[in-house]
Amino acid sequence: MIQDSQTNTIFVSSLLKDYGNTYECIEKAITGEVGLGFRVLENTKDIWCRDYMPIQVSPEKTVGYKYYPNYLLKSKYLKGFITDNSQFPATERLDLVLDGGNVVKSKDNVIMTEKVFFENPDKSKNQILAMLEGAFEAEIVVLPWDRAEEYGHSDGIVHFVSGDTILMTNYRDYSKEFSTKFLKVLEPKFNVIELHYSHKSKLNWAYINFVRVGNLILLPKLDIAEDEEAITQISAVFPDCKIVPISCRDVVLSGGALNCCTWNCFVT
């Protein structure tokens, strides 16, 4: 699998221009680094391009899927936000309903929540796992789905660091039950580093949803007390990366953060 550290380009939806200065801050941070590229996606229905863009497995292989999330099927109005992702080229297409936000990848593993099973009731769990492992050429690690988080995205829970080390959000501060469930799955396979904050803002979940392209990390800045704590902790975990805080409170209040509203990939 292409890892974040191997990517060199970030794509964002043109609709992100409507969200304060987040678009400009991302563009400035990326274009200010030698070797990194910034591109814009047109004809999207919302800003959350992570969810409908293909999964890049290698420089030659990208995997598309059915983007038809159940949380956008509740009304005719919400259905209007479903982007037709068949317009984005992929070398292979999975016959599965999937969100890119539920695909957190390293070289050999992909972490997902079990929501993928609920969105594909016509197939058994074994069938779904076999299809995913074949397409992604990686072992699938499945976390339980916290139904309080209707999107069921793993990129709101974990982020790979390197090797067998992963960073996990501060779930323990809010739900010891799910924190324990996640660690039960993760710890036998990975070295898990947990984030923790001295305050309990309703927004601090967003820090785990940073985006890394090469050795540059764009970290959500929320204008709350936890901003400095997040910068300190994530800088310690990624000592070889440049950390750039990006003001994106307006994006976070809409339900996602920087990994959600970007698509990072390797472009030759």
Return the number of other C-beta atoms located less than 10 Å from residue 244's C-beta: 19
Say if residue 200's pLDDT is above 90.
Answer: no
The rounded distance, in Å, linking the Cα atoms of 14 and 49 is 10
Give the model's pLDDT for residue 49.
97
Q: Using an 8 Å Cβ cutoff, are 203 and 252 in contact? A: yes
Average pLDDT over residues 85-95: 96
Per-residue pLDDT band at 201 (split at 50, 70, 90):
confident
Per-residue pLDDT band at 199 (split at 50, 70, 90):
confident
Q: pLDDT tens digits, residue range 163-195?
A: 899 999 999 998 999 999 999 999 999 999 999
Q: What is the DSSP letter of 221?
A: E
Q: Let me know if 47 is exposed, middle or buried by CB neighbors in 10 A (0-12, 13-18, 19+).
A: buried
Per DSSP, the three-state class of 166 is strand
Residues in the chain: 268
Q: For the chain, what percent of residues have pLDDT higher than 70?
A: 100
Residue 19: which domain range?
Answer: 4-265
Tokens for 197? 């904050």
The total of structural domains in the chain comes to 1
Work out whether the CA dihedral 105, 110, 113, 119 comes out positive or negative. positive
Query: pTM for this structure?
Result: 0.96
Point out which residues pair with 166 in neighbouring strands: 160, 192
28-34 long-range contacts (CB < 8 A, ≥24 apart) are 29/216, 29/218, 29/244, 29/246, 30/213, 30/216, 33/214, 33/216, 33/242
The rounded distance, in Å, linking the Cα atoms of 238 and 234 is 6
Average pLDDT over residues 90-115: 97
Give the model's pLDDT for residue 73.
94
Q: pLDDT tens digits, residue range 32-78?
A: 999 999 999 999 999 999 999 999 999 999 999 999 999 999 999 99
How confident is the prediction for the chain on average, in pLDDT? 96
CATH number for the domain that contains residue 199? 3.75.10.10
